[in-house]
Amino acid sequence: MKLSATLRSRSDQALAFLRARILDGDLKPGALLAESAVAVDLGVSRVPIREALFALERDGLVEFSETGRAYVKDLSPHDFEELYVLRLTLEPVAARLAAAALREDPSALEKNIEATRRASSLIKVTHLDLDFHEIILEASGNARLLKLWRSSGHELELWLGRLHRSKQIQTHGTREETVSTHCDLLECFRTQPPPVCERKMREHILGWREWLPAGMPVAAHDGTKSTTNRR
Amino acid sequence: MKLSATLRSRSDQALAFLRARILDGDLKPGALLAESAVAVDLGVSRVPIREALFALERDGLVEFSETGRAYVKDLSPHDFEELYVLRLTLEPVAARLAAAALREDPSALEKNIEATRRASSLIKVTHLDLDFHEIILEASGNARLLKLWRSSGHELELWLGRLHRSKQIQTHGTREETVSTHCDLLECFRTQPPPVCERKMREHILGWREWLPAGMPVAAHDGTKSTTNRR
DNA sequence: TGAAACAAAACGGTATACCGTCTCAAGAAC
DNA sequence: GTTCTTGAGACGGTATACCGTTTTGTTTCA
């Protein structure tokens, strides 16, 4: 194994490497990440590996046993539901907080949509979709909100990646649908007051669950009971 | 310095020790936490100290400079506003999700209120107040929501502790007010549907800002602009 | 055949050591 | 007096080593 030299410290390099391996599905759920073994693989000592593993635990990609061993996280449908609820909670609030700033300067969103129109592959569309949401979280001016959103993003990416590889779902709509719904949101930010933007974002996220596989448990947004989506 | 032996690892002991020192105000905002110095103080090597510092960063009690030095966090009013928004976002959702479970078994909340009635000091009332909210977060069944709430709690405790020591505020109402509002919430969980519980919890948290010092910036819950409370 | 006991290997927690970088203060140049 | 230079100490990043515990595979006994 060879570590990229673009990142400062070896911990960061190990972190990036392991994160990519886990998200790519190269490291299977439940796999033991023994410090010594990984250290030998990557040609570094155990110290940077330890730190990378702790960081991965923070991101939810790794979990520790009681005896301190690190394993690749095995996410359940319930985990996904928790993550979905989290997004459904955070993003509308972020949209409300970001509304004023985005109304004043919607250029970042416009550029993103333009890039999505020109994107050469579906995977790029997916990344630009994520970026679109991140722009809103950043514009909210609440760094903690953004931090929490990002950390949940790693787990979500892990979950969606696994579903995608097992061919159970398409994890998103087409380019046209993405562009269309994002244009809707942009128009909302441009013309509507914050509380309307909040509602719009909630609807946007609720609409996203239509892309999940049939039978995937998702929380009902009225909070009464869990249900399953219709597809 | 002597570390308590009740915790497993030296990292945990160092973490508990440093966290207590920071929250007590013994370590001032901006103070450098040099690994070697702390290690010597606590009679351990640098390794457990490093891990404790990383954990403290995760909790928001410590921040790292670009060169990797750890400093005790210096919270600004803007930081407090971010934390307040976070709670205002998370807790009502937790209340909605927890409503069904708490309706079925409100005993934990009842016991907490009873203990609050009997509490011998105001500091105990404060802790029981926190516990009351934590019970709701736990009952939400969303472990991630709980985790985020707890992590924001450390920062909030830090902020309130500093205000309290500088005599700028009383950080809470009286025992009677606490018991009274909590009884209100309990009654709501017992008799009202989840969305009503959600609204009730939002009001409860909005009411809490009345206890902040005059001029403390808090986010308006309509999301339009920041404002200041009236006291 | 299956369970219990045991031994060897694996693994994590921690201490120590080395090295490069950063910091900061004392001194030099202007 | 102010700014620039410089060198010693401080500090963090990482490697290596030691030790106790956990894990695992094998053997032994019922």
**Burial class, A41, CB count within 10 angstroms (exposed 0-12 / middle 13-18 / buried 19+):** middle
What pLDDT is recorded for position A230? 38
CATH 1.10.357.10 at A77-228, yes or no: no
Nearest to B84 by CA among B217, B214, B231, B225: B217
Helix residue ranges, H only, chain A: 10-23, 35-42, 46-59, 77-104, 107-118, 122-139, 143-165, 175-191, 194-208
Contacts 24+ apart (CB under 8 A), A170-175: A170/A211, A171/A126, A171/A211, A172/A122, A172/A125, A172/A126, A172/A129, A172/A211, A173/A211, A175/A116, A175/A117, A175/A119, A175/A122, A175/A125
Q: How far A141 CA sits from the closest chain B CA (Å)?
A: 9
B175 in Cβ contact with B66 (< 8 Å): no
pLDDT in tens, B102-139: 999 999 999 999 999 998 888 888 889 999 999 999 99
Nearest to B51 by CA among B7, B10, B20: B10
What pLDDT is recorded for position A231? 36
Question: Could B148 and A96 be called an inter-chain contact, meaning their C-beta atoms sit closer than 8 Å?
Answer: no
Rounded mean pLDDT of B14-42? 94
**What Å value separates CA A39 and C1' C16?**
20
Instruction: Please enumerate in sequence order all residues whose Cβ is within 8 A of that of B136, keeping only pairs 6 or more positions apart, or say none.
Output: B91, B94, B95, B98, B102, B109, B201
Task: State whether residue A193 sits within 8 Å of chain B by CB.
Answer: yes
Question: Could B193 and A99 be called an inter-chain contact, meaning their C-beta atoms sit closer than 8 Å?
Answer: no
Question: Could B85 and A93 be called an inter-chain contact, meaning their C-beta atoms sit closer than 8 Å?
Answer: yes
Helix H or strand E encompassing A71: strand A70-72
What pLDDT is recorded for position B164? 81
Q: A211 pLDDT exceeds 80?
A: no
- At residue A21 the predicted structure's pLDDT band, cuts being 50, 70 and 90, is very high
What pLDDT is recorded for position A27? 94
What pLDDT is recorded for position B160? 85
Q: Which nucleotide is nearest to A48 (CA to C1')?
A: D14
Q: How far A214 CA sits from the closest chain B CA (Å)?
A: 22
Q: Phi first, then psi: what are they for B64, rounded to 5°?
A: -100, 140
Best of A83, A85, A151, A197 to disrupt the B interface (most B CBs within 10 Å) is A85
A175 in Cβ contact with A116 (< 8 Å): yes
- At residue A122 the predicted structure's pLDDT band, cuts being 50, 70 and 90, is confident
Task: State whether residue B145 sits within 8 Å of chain A by CB.
Answer: yes
Q: B213 pLDDT exceeds 50?
A: yes
What pLDDT is recorded for position A79? 92
- Taking the domains of chain B in order of start, what are their residue ranges? 10-72, 77-223
Return the higher-pLDDT residue of A23 and A177. A23
Residues of chain A found within 8 Å of residue B93, distances taken between Cβ atoms: 85, 89, 223
pLDDT in tens, A107-118: 999 999 999 999
How far is Cα A61 from Cα A73, in angstroms, rounded to an integer? Answer: 5
**What Å value separates CA B6 and C1' C5?**
32
Q: A169 pLDDT exceeds 70?
A: no
> Dmax over Cα atoms in chain B, in whole Å?
57
Looking at CATH, the fold of the domain delimited by B77-223 is given as Four Helix Bundle (Hemerythrin (Met), subunit A) (1.20.120)
| Secondary structure in 3-state letters for B82-108 | HHHHHHHHHHHHHHHHHHHHHHHCCHH
Q: How far A142 CA sits from the closest chain B CA (Å)?
A: 6
Hey, what are B8's tokens? 């497993």
Q: How far B41 CA sits from the closest chain A CA (Å)?
A: 23
Sign, Cα dihedral of B108, B113, B114, B118 = positive
What pLDDT is recorded for position A64? 96
Residues of chain B found within 8 Å of residue A54, distances taken between Cβ atoms: 51, 54
Rounded mean pLDDT of B186-201? 95
Question: Could A145 and B90 be called an inter-chain contact, meaning their C-beta atoms sit closer than 8 Å?
Answer: no
Can you point out the beta strands (E) in B110-225? 217-219
Asked whether residue B166's C-beta has any atom of DNA/RNA strand C within 7 A, the reply is: no
Residues of chain A found within 8 Å of residue B50, distances taken between Cβ atoms: 51
Of B148, B219, B222, the CB nearest to A148: B148
- CA-only gyration radius of chain A, Å: 19
* Total Cβ atoms within 10 A of residue A177: 13
Identify the CATH assignment for A10-72 out of 2.160.10.10, 3.40.50.2300, 3.40.50.1820, 1.10.10.10: 1.10.10.10
